[in-house]
Structure formats: structure tokens, C-alpha cells
Structure 1
Amino acid sequence: MIFERSLQRELAYTAGAVFMVLLTLVLTTMMIRIVGFAASGEIDPRDVLVLIGLTVIGYLAIMLVATLFVSILFVLTRWYKDSEMVVWLSSGVSLTRFIKPIGIFATPIIILIMFFVFVGWPWSNQQSKLIRARFQQRDEVSLLAPGQFRESPTTHRVFFIEKMSPDQGHVENVFVTSTEGGKVNVVVSKNGHIETHKNGDRFVVLENGRRYDGEPGHPDFRIMEFERYGVKIQSQPVVNTPTTTGLPTLTLLRNPTKENLAEFAWRAGLPLIAINLMLLAIPLAHQNPRRSRTINLVMAVLIYLTYSNLLNVVQAWIEQGKMSFGVGLVILHVIVLGIVAFIFWLRVRNRPLFTRAMFSRSQGA
């Protein structure tokens, strides 16, 4: 039918524009946040682009839900604004007839939402955490930066070097201090290099330097000169302890703890939110052509935020044991579906959502 092709074509154009706007906002926000982490030393600056990409993959499902809802609402609101909807309704096309073309348009988007929330979301979270763990658990040599004091996360050592070769193989003017049993050890050297033994142990071998041992406040310091002095490099294995957000969906179901079931309820809730909001946008787009479209946009934002926050509340209740998994999985979406059906009934009967009598009673009260 003509109106179905016209509707689907305009929905596709609008959805593309809305998605690009949301993607730009998410990219900008994530870039500022992740670059801030890199500047504070929490992540490796070389991993910034990778982490931004992983974060975007994780949020794609949420962006697609918002894109679907806003694009349908925008298109139908414009049709009401330009009186196109009046033409279609007066020609015998009922409001419920819009469900089929909009459903056909939304089906691939909902499939993508399911893929990204069940597969992309846990995978991106797991990879992001692994990258952060590798950086936080790197060995002491990778902490070194010319002209900066760096404290080791595994020992009570503080390193300072003046120069370092690009391959981190040779260092010059090295200062190392450590605290053991209340005593301070200070090692100063002009040159040094990195050695790796056959058993895998790594050492910073300092040359032509001095070592000062003693307790602060006491004069009995020992001073030793050396030609070669090895400082073992401490390192930690990369331990990847997966959280519920990083567990694959099948793992959540195979290990049905409260936390895992709550996470699964949240993931399953996003496609259901997309379906309910898709249906809700059809009657919600109705408006007086003389009014501004801003009202519908504000309502869309409030409805989306309220719905998503309620889903988070249900997830927390399942995790805390205040609500069973079966009830929490469907109760919110069934209630919203009932509200959508009621609003459809009002629109089909050509009745307003709010009447003047309701406002006059509230004012009189």
C-alpha cells in the first residue's frame, strides 16, 4: 500500500538521522570520560580508541531502543502536524493499521537490539575490564617515565629516571627508594639496563652507583658503592574476575544466582522495552496541528527515562530477593503493555488522554 511504503521510507531516513545524533553524543561523552581516565593514569593512552569502540558497542542496544521510539514518534507527529494523518484516517485507514508497517520496519532493529544486548554488551564489558586489568597489573618497568616519580603498585618502591631509551632497554641517572621493616633503602646509579633470565625473572641492572641503608632519624646509615646492582622487577599475573555484566548470557542461565538472574532480566527487558515503546509511539504521536512538536519530544524523553529506570529498579529488587525472577521478568512490561492498549483504545474512540474536567477538578480541590 502507498501509505505503508511512504511510512517505512520516512521512518528509515528519520531513524538514520536520530541514530547518528545519538552516536555523536555517546562518542563525545565517552571520549571525554576515557581521555580523562588516560590523563589520570588509570588506563593506557594507547587503549583509548579501543575502549571508546568497546563502550559504543556496549551501548548500541540502548541507542537503538531510543532511536526506534524517537523516530516513530517524530514521523507520526509530523504527519499530524502537516495533516497527512488526517488524510489517511479519513480515507479509511485505522490507527491500528499502522502497527503492521511500523512492525515490519522495527523488526530488524529489534533483532539488532537482541544481538547487542545478549552478545555485544557482555563481550564489550569483558574486554574493557581485561584491558584495564592488564594496565593496572603491568610490571614496574612499564610504570617508568622519564622525569617523573612513579610508585610501584606491588611494592613500596618509588622510581625516578632522567632518560630512557625508546625500547626501555637502557636508563640513565636512576633513583630507587624502598621501605622495608621501617628502614629506607636508596639506590642511585648513573646507568642501567634491563636483563631477563632464563627462568623469566626480569631485573633492572644498575651500574656505577651507591646504596644508602638506614632508619630515618638515626645517624647509623650505611653507604655502599657498587659496579653492578640488580633490582628484581615485580609483576602480577593478569587476573580477570568476570562480573555479571561481563558474563555471557548462557552462563547467566547456567548459574542462576540472584545477581545473574537480575542481569538476565535487565538484558531481556531491553527488547521488550523496544516493542512496547514502538507500540506506544503510535497513539502518543497524536496532537493538535496548531501545537508545537516539542511537547511530544519532552514526553518521549520522560517516558523513556522512566521506563528504563523502572527496569533498573526491578533488576535491583531481583538481585536483593525482594521480587522473584519470573515476576520481575514480565510484570513491568505487562503493565506497560496494558497502558499502551488503553491509550490505543482512547485514540481509536477519539477520546483525549486528559480532559478539561480533570484539570478543573484538580484546580477546584
Structure 2
Amino acid sequence: MPLIIFRYLSRQMLQVMLAVTSVVLLIIMSGRFVNYLAQAATGTLKADFLFAIMGYRIPEFLVMILPLGLFLGIILAYGRLYVDNEMTVLSACGLNRNQLLAMTMIPAIGVMLLVGLLSLVVAPLGIQKVERIFAEQNSLTEFDTLVSGRFQKFGWQRVTYAEELTDDHQQMNKVFIANRNVNSSNMGSMTLLMAETARIEANAGEDGQRYLILEDGYRYDLTPGILPLREIEFENYGLRMEERNSRKEISKEQALPTEKLLASDKLGYRAELQWRISLPLLIPIVVLLALPLSQVNPRQGRYVKLLPGILLYLLYLALLMSGRGAIEDGRLPPDIGLWPIHSLFLLIALMMYLFEPGKLWLSRRRAGHA
């Protein structure tokens, strides 16, 4: 009988957890994908890197989502059992609160081990791959991500167009470049370049910098709305190609293996290590929080405690993030770290878990005295 109940409860909880995790993961990945897709469309990110970045970041997303999925899975699954009076039947069969907690903790420990593996090993490996991709992206010039037949803006000072491109992006036809002269005394001045063909020439300069060699074209120097216009015809014109700098999305500490964090006394490394440990550690605490939150009156419905539960979870996560930042800034000693936050919420969870039995015990004691 207990094994049947355990299987039933675990199945109900894990099914809801997987559904919640899948939905939240889809939402987060969709937002990231749209962001990266916009960068690829504007040429600031090479399209070939798009799916690789998303794939390598999935473990990082799962580390954050799985504890939330488990927390909501317990509240929703057990809440339905309370609303449908199935928990009343199970209680009549001899299932008490401590047995329910033990049966819930067994699959939760499996989730905890999975999150620990992802947090300490798999996610840092994926972030290392993403960091290498961004490093390779930064080594590209703007013309490596140029799309034929489209005006593309690079930074705020340059717009580039090429009617035709070879597959290796080394040769272009019908090139137009509009460049705002940021170093000029007249900040409104612009330089327009139009050329029949252009090619990329590596190591054309003494410093090894790559140049775009424009052929058979014109250069116009002008200030919009002001005359005169200066026109220069050229057969060959060299344009220095600036290397790209992608927006930094990950810190170097996130990409480091856990063993390197363990061997270092740097504040940033200690903060990252405590953060990685905190993610699996919060799972048994949120399980203890979720059980009393899932206990609802059938007349109230199973969603009545969902919003307070989410707010409590978000507060827990926000305090952990704030503590991580405080360790990095030196405002919180690393030896103390995030442990007071875990202790606080463990105390809250124990108080919530023991509240109903304590109230029942007091009522019985009062009845006995009466």
C-alpha cells in the first residue's frame, strides 16, 4: 500500500513539475531566441552561432527553472488532491504529514542531485562553449556578418549595403557605406562611399589589421543641409575594418570549472561557488515550504495559495541574488555568505509546516483542560 501511494504521489508531482518546467523553459528560450535573432538580422551576431548558443545555455536555464518547477508542481498537484478530497482518503488510509513529507522528499532528492550536477558541472561547461562562441564573434568584423541586399547598421555611426556577396564574404558588388565622422570637429558631417566592387584584404597594414579595399567608386564628404559637397573619385580606397565587441552576457566566473572556484579566495569566485551550491540546496527547503502551501480547503480551490507561494519563492531567490552581489562587492563576508538566507527560509518553512499540527495540539489541550 505505501509503495502504491508513493508511486501515485510522485507521478502526480513530477508530471506537473515537468509541465511547468517545459512551459517556463519555452518562454525563457523564446525570449532569448528573439533577442539573438534580432542581433543576427541586424548583423551584430553571426547566424551560424544562433542555435549553438541556445543549445549550450539550456543547462544554465534548467538550473534556475527546475527548483521553481518542483515548487509549483507540489503546490498544484497536491492542491488538486486536497480539492478532490483524495488527500482525505489517503489520510483515512493512514498517511500522515510526516509520511507525505518523506514520500515527497524522495523524488525531490533526485531533482536536487540533477540540479547539483547541472549547476556544478554541466552548466559551467556550456557557458565555456558560449564564451568561446562570443570570443569568435568578437574576432569577426562587421562585413563577416553582412547580408546581401540589406542595409545594416553597425553601432550608431555606420550603415553598410552590398548588393551581392560571395559565400566567404571576401568579395562584394555594388557597395554603399555611410559613415558618421565621430572624430571630426563638425559632428554632423558624414562620409558616403560607393564602389562597384570591394574585397577584404588580410594583413594589408603593418599591424596585421584587415582592410576593405573598395574599387572604382566615389567618396562624398558632406554635412546634411550645408554646402559645399566634396566629391572624390577613386580606383582603390582602403577602409579599416574594426573588430566587433559583442555585449557581455556572462561573467568569467560563470565559465570557470567548480574546482577552480574551490581553489580560489577571490570574492567573485567565492560568490559564484556559493551561488552554485545554493541552487540545489534550496530544493529541500522549497519542498518544506510547498507542502503547507498545497494544503487548501476544497471550497477555496487549489490556486488560492499559488500567488503567495510564488511571491515567497521569488523573495527567496531575490535575497540569494542580493547576497551573491554583496559577497562580490565585499559587503558580506564570504565565510558567512548565503547561509543566513537559507537558514531564515528553513525556519519559515518549519514554522509553516508545524503551524497546523501546533494549532491542533493547542486546541486539544484546551479541550482537555475544559
TM above 0.5: yes
For residues 276 and 174 of structure 2, what CA distance do their matches in structure 1 show? 54
Pick closer, same or farther for the CA change 1:208–1:341 going to 2, 3 Å.
Answer: closer
Q: State the secondary structure of the residue aligned to 1:298.
A: helix
**Which deviations, in whole Å up to 9, do the C-alpha atoms of 1:220-261 show, x marking residues without a partner?**
x795754xx363764649999952222222222222212221
Partner residue in 2 for 1:319: 328
- Offset, 1:14: 2.4
| Contact 1:146–1:161 (8 Å) recurs in 2 | yes
**Which deviations, in whole Å up to 9, do the C-alpha atoms of 1:258-292 show, x marking residues without a partner?**
22212222221111211101122223322222211
Indicate the percent of aligned positions where both proteins have the same amino acid: 26
Pick closer, same or farther for the CA change 1:189–1:107 going to 2, 3 Å.
Answer: same
Using the TM superposition, name which of 238-247 and 46-55 deviates more.
238-247
- Offset, 1:174: 3.9
For residues 32 and 64 of structure 2, what CA distance do their matches in structure 1 show? 15
- Offset, 1:209: 5.0
Partner residue in 1 for 2:365: none
Partner residue in 2 for 1:273: 282
Using the TM superposition, name which of 144-153 and 245-254 deviates more.
144-153
Pick closer, same or farther for the CA change 1:35–1:196 going to 2, 3 Å.
Answer: closer
Partner residue in 2 for 1:342: 351
Letter aligned with residue 344 of structure 2: I
| Contact 1:141–1:233 (8 Å) recurs in 2 | no
For residues 34 and 223 of structure 1, what CA distance do their matches in structure 2 show? 39
- Offset, 1:345: 2.2
For residues 159 and 22 of structure 1, what CA distance do their matches in structure 2 show? 38
TM-score relative to the length of structure 2: 0.77
Pick closer, same or farther for the CA change 1:269–1:213 going to 2, 3 Å.
Answer: closer
For residues 210 and 185 of structure 1, what CA distance do their matches in structure 2 show? 10
Partner residue in 1 for 2:32: 30
For residues 189 and 337 of structure 1, what CA distance do their matches in structure 2 show? 69
- Offset, 1:297: 1.4
For residues 67 and 305 of structure 1, what CA distance do their matches in structure 2 show? 13
For residues 218 and 76 of structure 1, what CA distance do their matches in structure 2 show? 76
Q: What is the root-mean-square deviation of aligned Cα atoms in Å?
A: 3.8
Equivalent positions of 1:193-204 (< 5 A) are: 193-194=199-200, 204=212
Pick closer, same or farther for the CA change 1:350–1:232 going to 2, 3 Å.
Answer: same
How many residues end up aligned between the 2 structures? 350
For residues 115 and 72 of structure 2, what CA distance do their matches in structure 1 show? 15
> Tell me, which stretches of 5 or more residues in structure 2 are unaligned?
362-370
Partner residue in 1 for 2:165: 164
139, 142, 161: which one pairs with 2:141?
139
TM-score relative to the length of structure 1: 0.78
Partner residue in 2 for 1:255: 264
- Offset, 1:186: 7.3
Using the TM superposition, name which of 319-328 and 293-302 deviates more.
319-328
> Tell me, which stretches of 5 or more residues in structure 1 are unaligned?
353-365
For residues 67 and 133 of structure 1, what CA distance do their matches in structure 2 show? 33
Letter aligned with residue 231 of structure 1: G
